[in-house]
Structures are given as C-alpha cells and as structure tokens.
Amino acid sequence: LGTSLAQNGFYHKAVFLFTEALKLNPRDHRLFGNRSFCHERLGQPMWALADAQVALTLQPGWPRGLFRLGKALMGLQRFEEAAAVFQETLRGGSQPDAARELHSCLLHLALNQRGGIRVPHLTTGFPQPFSHAEPGTTSLPSVSRPPSTAPRAPGLLSLPLRFPPCHLSHPNWTLPQIQT
C-alpha cells in the first residue's frame, strides 16, 4: 500500500506506512529505500540520506539503495559524492536512470567550477553571492533601518526566521514558539 501511495504522489501517507511497516520488519532494506524515495520527493534530503544509508547497511551494494543514496546527496548539493555513487551504481548495470543523474551531477559541478551559477547550501540558511557580484562584495546592498518602537504583541515572532526547507513538510510538525 505504501508503494502505491508513493507512486501516486501521496508521499506523507507513504512515509507513515513505511514507518509503520519498519516497526514490524526493521531489517527490510526495501522499506528504507522506499521511504528514502518519499523523503527525497518531499524535499527532505537529510532524511532521504539517512534512510538510504540504513538500506545500504542492511543490503550492501544494493543498486536501488545506491541510487537512492545518490539522489539524497544531490538533494544536499553534494554533487561530487553523488557522482561517485552514480558511477558505482552504473557499474552494477541495473539502474538506467543513474546515467541521467550522473550527467546532472557533472553538469552542476562544471557550472559551479566556471562560476556560472552559485548554489546555496541548505545547511547555512544564508544567501550566497550572485554570479555577477564583484569578488569580495556582497550580492545585495546593505539596508539599515531604525529599530521599531512599536509595542510587540506577545507571541509574535521576530523576523527574519530561517527554518530548514522541510519544516512544514511533516503533517505532525508545528512551528516552534518563541518566548519574548
């Protein structure tokens, strides 16, 4: 049922079912691989990576697990590592999509080396300079504003807030409450 939900784009529900199935069979590498796929599609590359690594721990060399690992690394913008994983996957010969993903990794690496695009890392939360910015300068002008003297209502959040990209992607997650 989880696989059917995932194939039809119901990734949250599929993650739930794969998690429940793993409670009954925690050594099934395919369940971790399928849940990794769902996390990747939900934009949760860290969780996708963790599940792919567990799948490969349970079934070393599993071609589909290697593919899932490569996709998770791509989601984390770790293109060199992803390219190496896709090359290993291609040696196994059973994952035809690995060639396309390897090509995508190599393209990202080539563009990054030439400075044609800058890809911000997901872990920092800070903007990266644009490719047209002068070296040693920030890409956006500094804007200063006087501090507000308006009273704050209790419970309002201070801006800017930076959350990981997956903070709203799980149905049971809520935003943290900040005390003022």
Q: Is residue 180 part of a domain?
A: no
Instruction: Note the helical H segments in 42-76.
Output: 45-58, 63-75
For the stretch 64-101, pLDDT in tens is 999 999 999 999 999 999 999 999 999 877 778 898 99
The answer as to whether 54 is a domain residue is yes
pTM for this model (two decimals) = 0.63
Q: Is residue 55 part of a domain?
A: yes
Nearest of 17, 31, 93 to residue 68 by alpha carbon = 31
Q: Is residue 33 part of a domain?
A: yes
What is the distance between the alpha carbons of residues 74 and 37, in angstroms, rounded to a whole number?
A: 13
Sign of CA dihedral 46, 51, 52, 54: positive
Domain holding 78: CATH number?
Answer: 1.25.40.10
Q: In total, how many domains does the chain have?
A: 1
- Which pLDDT tens digits describe the chain residue by residue (180 residues)? 899 999 999 999 999 999 999 999 999 999 999 999 999 999 999 999 999 999 999 999 999 999 999 999 999 999 999 999 999 999 877 778 898 999 999 999 998 887 655 544 444 333 333 334 444 444 433 344 444 444 444 443 344 434 344 444 444 444 445 454
Please state the separation of Cα 80 from the chain's center in Å: 15
Residue 36 lies in a domain: yes
| Domain membership of residue 98 as a residue range | 2-114
Euclidean distance between CA atoms 56 and 33, whole angstroms: 9
Rounded to an integer, what distance in angstroms lies between the CA atom of residue 16 and that of residue 34? 11
